[in-house]
Structure 1
Amino acid sequence: MSKRTLGLTAALLLCAGGLASLPAAPAQAAEANLKCHLKFSLAGWSILYKHAEGHGTVVCDNGERAAVKINVVGGGLTAGKYRIDNGTGEITHVRSIQDVFGDYAQAGAEAGVVKSGSADVLTKGTTSLALAGAGEGINLGVSVGKFTITH
């Protein structure tokens, strides 16, 4: 063998040894399957424009937790005023609590008088947020908007 071939072979063996010390891909994929749970209260109104604000707590299966603020904005053919108490949400496909924060796309149809209910599935990239809640108010319509979770 030539010196050049020996040098190339040695370099390839060093690279292969370095790659063997990296964590396996399945371990990283398993981390993206963390589930977090949201408990929240929310109050808002809509007359063509939809606006609601609230607060809550996020607790992840790995023990991470945070107090959060919730803001909902959007538009559509809606009218009403409502309040959701003791709402819940499940947030899936996250690696850490940091993946929970940000804007989720929202589309929904609402209908209710006196006792109002809500159930939505929202997305932010590969992260999903399934919401459920009940409260009081009057709301009617179809809307598209943004559900934001911040610190």
Structure 2
Amino acid sequence: MSKHTLALTAALLLGAGALVAVPAAPVHAAEANVKCHLTFSLSGWSILYKHAEGSGTVRCENGQQAEVKIVMIGGGLTAGKYRIDHGTGDITHVRGIDDVFGDYAQAGAEAGVVKSGTAQVLTKGTTSLALAGHGEGINLGVSVGKFTISHR
């Protein structure tokens, strides 16, 4: 090897080593300790297939808020028509309001005639949504599906 090639190779190796040796600044994900609260109204029906739509507002402890659309779809052995007014939900394990949006897994057994109440816990990864509400209608059965929160 010539002196010139040897010097060039050494310079390249030292330069590459310097790039590798520089420690990167640690990256910390924001902690998912923000809590958000959902208020909503929802109405729907089911005959084997379950469909409901509604709207609401999400307010987070960090001051963020958004008007939202809610869609619930699923299937199972269900039948009925129902409406939930003044529903509430507590959303935990989020970093901010953007973590609220998306599809939550839903499964439940419903039994209600005229005036009824509901309580469910839904999940989306590590995010939990605890729903409660009361309303009117007739609904009977067992179903699985998804509960979607999106921007209105």
TM-score of Structure 1 vs Structure 2, range by shorter chain? 0.7 to 0.9
Provide the residue aligned with 1:50 in structure 2: 50
1:5-24 mapped onto 2 (5 Å cutoff): 11=18, 15-16=22-23, 18-19=24-25, 22=26
Which runs of 5 or more structure 1 residues have no equivalent in the other structure?
Answer: none
Q: Which runs of 5+ in 2 are unaligned?
A: 1-9
TM-score (norm 2): 0.83
Aligned residues: 139
Alignment of 1:76-95 (within 5 A): 76-95=76-95
Q: CA deviation at 1:33?
A: 1.0
> How far, CA to CA, are the matches of 1:98 and 1:146 in structure 2?
18
1:133 aligned partner: 133
Please tell me whether Structure 1 or Structure 2 has the larger radius of gyration of its CA atoms.
2
Greater percentage in helix: 1
SS in 2 for 1:150: strand
Q: Which amino acid aligns with 1:141?
A: G
Equivalent position amino acid for 1:136 in 2: E
SS in 1 for 2:111: strand
- The answer to whether the Cα contact below 8 Å between 1:83 and 1:136 also exists between their aligned partners in 2 is yes
Deviation for aligned residue 1:11 = 4.5
What pairs with 1:1-151 in structure 2 (closer than 5 Å)? 11=18, 15-16=22-23, 18-19=24-25, 22=26, 25=28, 28=29, 30=31, 32-151=32-151
**Seq. identity, %:** 75
CA contact (8 A) 1:82 1:116 kept: no
TM-score (structure 1 length as normaliser): 0.83
Aligned-pair distance for 1:29? 5.1
